[in-house]
Amino acid sequence: MLSESSFNGEMEKQPLLSSKKIPIRRSLLASFLASLMSFTSGTVVGGWTAPQHPETVGEMMFMMETMEEMSWVVSIYVIGALLGALPAGQISRTVGRKKFLLLLAIPMTVGWLLIMLFVNEVYLILVGRFLCGLSLGAVTVAVPLYNYDVAPNVCRGRGGVFLDFMLCAGILYSYVSSSLLGLRMFALTCAIFPLVFCALFWRMPESPLYLYSRGRFLDAKSALIWLQGDDSTVAAAFDEYAKLQTEDDALPVDKDLQPSGRKQAFTKAVVLSLALATVQRLSGAGAIIQYTAKLFSISGSSVAPNTASIITGIFQLTGSGITIFLIDRVGRRILLLISSFVVVACLAMLTLYFYFLNKGMLADSLKILPIIIVCMFISFFRLGLGPIPWFITTELIGADHSNRAQSYIVSYSWILSFVVMKTFVTLVDDFPVALWLVYTVISVFGYLFILFFVPETNNKSTVEIRLSLAKTYHINSS
């Protein structure tokens, strides 16, 4: 095997930087196919609440005996997700991003097969949902890490949004199919999707950074050449990888930052990532997506709840699709601000709607308002707050520290999601005005936080982002 030193010596004649435009099609293809596992995750998230009766799961699925059972069937996957996310970064670092993603198809398939085979056994359905959740949580860690490793700076945002886009596609599929199919057939189709993912993704390259870290320099070079079309950027990539060979418990090393600056940059990155995850989850979007049918049922909307669920699913998929075209042109920060502002406005309108509904002051002609508000909410949520927090951690912290950070922050996000899921179904019945008001107030603070503290990371290298986070410690003179 070629040693690192001999390989670097072989490449010394090549320029470290090239003015040639980097091809991105193959990088985007690899990121997109990796995100197909997110489609299977979306089938776990959507379609599990009843259009007409709060005590059922799926219009043609089965009857739950209690609201508590219904709540657990809907939310059990979140517990699996937060547990699956915790070790995911380290495991993917050990076995490889690609191999780990392929392995995640196993618990997802087994989970759906359990549901298919035991459609009348609630506790086995809970086990199946939990297994699917394990895979889902790990996917939300592993896909952003793989994308960060294979996508150049110029298209990193598009690759990151694929995770959210395919999640929305899976949710929409669940909305539609759960209203047409019985639980057994629905589960069977969902069990097939991970196998389709494996068939399509196994030809994609392993993360070049992972290969380099394992001393497989020729394999890393081959992966980079496949992703970028030629070998003009291999030397620059290897030079960058060499800088990242630090211990996982050490702060990233950067010659342009003093130790105090490195520490400040890392701390800021973690705080920013946690804050964005908090704003994302405590906007109530997850509960709205999960309980769309129930929300429209209790709101008195004139639109059939199942129809409304499908309509909102289409809107959120459209919103996420638009983000793919804007994220690398407009930037993360502007999309976050626009998304957050409209989310605040929609939550405020929902608060007022339920206030007047409880007072009996709503005309029948206004009962279509919830579907309009929710469609606007979910479209703009998917414009920024939905997709960006999933992958911005890898940009803010960088490849050398993202394995653990992405796992911990995503697990924290799923903890918040579980709290929202478990409380929403009760609070929206008993205290709807207070619930929407709390979401509104939190989202206002979220908007202000983004406005004053979140930096732009679009088309910036890891070094540039760190310098922007710790600019007061930038060495201006030798």
Sign of CA dihedral 78, 79, 82, 83: negative
pLDDT at 291: 74
pLDDT at 122: 85
Q: Which long-range contacts (CB under 8 A, 24 or more apart) does 301-305 make?
A: 301/367, 301/368, 301/369, 301/370, 301/371, 302/364, 302/367, 302/368, 303/368, 303/371, 304/51, 305/51, 305/52
Which DSSP letter does residue 364 get? G
pLDDT at 301: 65
Distance CA 411, CA 82 (A): 4
pLDDT at 265: 83
pLDDT at 245: 63
The tens place of each residue's pLDDT in the chain, 478 residues long, gives: 444 444 344 433 333 334 456 688 999 999 999 999 999 999 998 766 543 444 444 434 445 566 667 777 878 899 999 999 999 999 999 999 999 999 999 999 999 999 999 988 888 999 999 999 999 999 999 999 999 999 988 899 999 999 999 999 999 999 888 778 878 899 999 999 999 999 999 999 999 999 999 999 999 999 999 998 777 678 888 888 887 665 444 444 444 454 556 778 888 999 999 999 999 999 999 888 777 777 777 666 666 767 878 888 999 999 999 999 999 999 999 999 999 999 999 999 999 988 988 888 877 767 778 888 989 999 999 999 999 999 999 899 876 677 888 999 999 999 999 898 888 877 888 888 999 999 999 999 999 999 999 999 998 887 788 888 876 344 333 3
Distance CA 387, CA 168 (A): 10
Q: Tokens for 153, please give them.
A: 């700076």
- Bridge partner residues of 43 (DSSP): none
Virtual CA dihedral for 279, 270, 452, 468, nearest 10 degrees? -150
pLDDT at 200: 96
pLDDT at 337: 97
pLDDT at 158: 95
pLDDT at 141: 95
pLDDT at 399: 67
pLDDT at 4: 43
Residues 301/368, Cβ–Cβ less than 8 Å: yes
